[in-house]
Amino acid sequence: MANDDKKPAAPSPSFDVIVIGGGPAGYPAAIRAAQNKLSVACIDEWKNRDGTPAFGGTCLNAGCIPSKALLESSELYHRVREEFASHGIKVSGASLDLAQMQKRKAGIVRGMTGGILALFKAAGVTPLQGHGKLLAPGTVEFTAHDGAKRSLSAKQVVLASGSAPIELRSAAFQAPQIVDSWGALDFDAVPKRLAVIGAGVIGLELGSVWRRLGSEVVVLEALPEFLPIADQQLAKEALRHFKKQGLEIRLGAKLTQALVEGDAVHVTYADAKGEQKLTVDRLVVAVGRRPYTQDLFTPESAVQLDERGFIKVDDHCRTGVAGVWAIGDCVRGPMLAHKGKEEGVMVADLIAGLFGETNYKVIPSVIYTSPEISWVGLTEEQVKASGRAYKVGVFPFLASGRAKAMEQASGFAKVLAAQDDDEILGVHIVGPMAGELIAEAVLAMEYSASSEDLQRTIHAHPTLSEAVHEAALNADKRSIDNINR
């Protein structure tokens, strides 16, 4: 020990770039920075419920990936029971093995999060599992999970600390009865009666999972309008299908209190008729997420938060403090994994002196319900409000041979284009594989395509993508496979 005292202090490890946060914003930033020949460390503190640390953040551990795994499994369960007979496939005795469904989900998550470590290794990124804190520009304190602290230095620091679920004072989390979205992905039994607060993207996806597996689901939404962020023609069509599936969505219903009594939750909410009551077995609070920046930086670092708690950044994710950047859910803009990834790549390229840009006007949104919902660009309501003259083309999946073959011939594709120069202003899809189909529209809009460009592009037959082609044709009343209106 005495000898140790005489040793000079170990020099603090130094990197070109340190990324704090290893979610879908942070880990791509680290990989791209390494591809740009910079020395990089990525610090992440995520621990799963069993205590194992894992990269991937909310998205891989508790969000996008586990929710899609359960949406896929529950959809298959639903189809085997409700749809296979119409294909002429008789199945008897199909039953639910929820433990296996959850095991499959956990396996996918484990594989994907472990994959990030493999990507880091291949790219030469140093993974550090524990807490990162920006002490001052260029200096980061790293606290490993065992409590050991180290000071690190870096020319550039990227903050990618993500977000956390919003908790309501009137319905504080109290697992297992009152849970957030992560809790709702981990139920080990199908609740008989389930209430979901919030008919946003997450609430609708989780409500769909448990409805398909047999729960009676009531979704309470404070706003009077359904999915106000989406094109309202799309929202109306989706609502009609959700109702048919037995998802009970009560609009203009604001939760005021939730009380746990034994294994039940007594929910009180207010609607136009006054106070209402509901008793359920489980309550999921899915009222949105807030930026998470706890213990992320010191006041001396001079990083600023805005009035809603997001780290202040410009269009290129610069915080205004030299050498400090912030990306993903902890900064303004839609809380989406692909938005964070694009920002991560942009920042890593800018740091390396390369070109980098995020086109915030062309970020796709997808809701993975059945039917799926997707869009990019402006809604019809937004185009109307802008005052620009426009044309609309719609094509129903009812007229799509592929959708019929899939027994999923519902919903439509809709293309909005400017009347003057035919520029595509927005594309909205509700129907089978809408989340995949939107990619073509994103690419078209990224290249400032016109609806004529889409019209003149050959689409394979019979595919679902023909619906987008025909919707573009319909914008000029030139649809072949549908009556032009």
Whether 461 is catalytic: yes
Q: Per CB under 6 A, which of residues 239..278 are in contact with ligand FAD?
A: none
Binding ligand AMP by CB under 6 A: which of 164, 222, 406, 418? Answer: 222
**Which positions from 227 through 286 interact with ligand AMP, judged by CB under 6 A?**
254-255, 286
Tell me: does residue 201 bind ligand AMP (CB under 6 A): yes
Using the rule CB under 6 A, is 102 a contact of ligand FAD? Answer: no
The region of 103-111, 198-206, 272-280, 356-364 touching ligand AMP under the rule CB under 6 A is 198-206
Give the span between the Cα atoms of 249 and 72, in whole angstroms.
Answer: 22
Using CB under 6 A as the binding rule, the residues of this chain from 303 to 342 that contact ligand FAD are: 328-329, 335-338, 340
From the candidates 87, 145, 316, 461, give the one annotated as an active-site residue: 461
Nearer to ligand FAD, 208 or 455 (CB): 208
Smaller CB separation from ligand FAD, 162 or 431: 162
CB nearer to ligand AMP: pick between 335 and 392: 335
Q: Is 274 left (phi over 0), alpha (psi -120 to 50) or beta?
A: left
Binding residues among 56-75 for ligand FAD as defined by CB under 6 A? 57-59, 63-64, 67
* SS3 per-residue string spanning the chain: CHHHHHCCCCCCCEEEEEEECCCCCHHHHHHHHHHCCCCEEEEECCECCCCCECCCHHHHHHCHHHHHHHHHHHHHHHHHHHCHHHHCCCCCCCCCCHHHHHHHHHHHHHHHHHHHHHHHHHHCCEEEEEEEEEEECCEEEEEECCCCEEEEEEEEEEECCCEEECCECCECCECCCEECHHHHHCCCCCCCEEEEECCCHHHHHHHHHHHHCCCEEEEEECCCCCCCCCCHHHHHHHHHHHHHCCCEEEECCEEEEEEEECCEEEEEEEECCEEEEEEECEEEECCCEEECCCCCECHHHCCCECCCCCECCCCCCECCCCCEEECHHHCCCCCCHHHHHHHHHHHHHHHCCCCCCCCCCCCCEEECCCCEEEEEECCHHHHHHHCCCEEEEEEEHHHCHHHHHCCCCCCEEEEEEECCCCEEEEEEEEECCHHHHHHHHHHHHHCCCEHHHHHCCCCCCCCCCHHHHHHHHHHCCCCCCCCCC
Per CB under 6 A, which region of 55-63, 168-176, 264-272, 400-408 contacts ligand FAD?
55-63
Per-residue mark of binding to ligand FAD, 162-201 (x: CB under 6 A):
xx-----------------x--------------------
CB atoms within 10 A of CB 3: 6
Nearest approach in angstroms of CB 67 to ligand FAD is 4
Query: Which residues inside 280-339 make contact with ligand AMP, applying CB under 6 A?
Result: 286-288
**How many angstroms separate the CA atoms of 258 and 71, rounded?**
27
Site stretch for ligand FAD (CB under 6 A), options 32-40, 125-133, 222-230, 447-455: 125-133
Please identify, among the stretches 113-121, 148-156, 200-208, 381-389, the one whose residues bind ligand AMP according to the rule CB under 6 A: 200-208
66 lies in the binding site for ligand AMP (CB under 6 A) = no
Least separation in angstroms between residue 261's CB and ligand AMP is 20
Binding flag, residue 127, ligand FAD (CB under 6 A): no
Least distance to ligand AMP from the beta carbon of 229, Å? 7
Q: What number of chain residues touch ligand FAD (CB under 6 A)?
A: 36
Q: Which stretch binds ligand AMP (CB under 6 A): 50-58, 215-223, 292-300, 338-346?
A: 215-223
Q: What's the maximum distance between 2 C-alpha atoms anywhere in the chain?
A: 89
- Residue 131 interacts, among ligand AMP, ligand FAD, none and using kind-specific CB cut-offs from 5 to 8 Å, with ligand FAD
Distance CA 128, CA 41 (A): 7
| 20 is a contact residue toward ligand FAD (CB under 6 A) | yes
Ranges within 135-194 binding ligand AMP (CB under 6 A): 168
Quote the CA–CA distance of 166 and 89 in Å, as a whole number. 44
If one asks whether residue 482 binds ligand FAD (CB under 6 A), the answer comes out as no
Orientation angle between helical segments 466-475 and 434-446, nearest 10 degrees: 50
> For 167, phi and psi rounded to 5 degrees?
-105, 135
Between 194 and 472, CB nearer to ligand FAD? 194
Judged by CB under 6 A, the residue of 125, 178, 220, 366 near ligand AMP is 220
Residue 127 interaction partner, one of ligand AMP, ligand FAD, none, beta carbon < 5-8 Å per kind: none
Residue closer to ligand AMP by CB (options 369, 482) is 369
- The set of catalytic residues is 461
Footprint on this chain of ligand AMP (rule: CB under 6 A): 168, 197-202, 220-223, 254-255, 286-288
Footprint on this chain of ligand FAD (rule: CB under 6 A): 20-26, 43-46, 57-59, 63-64, 67, 131-133, 160-163, 181, 202, 292, 296, 328-329, 335-338, 340, 368
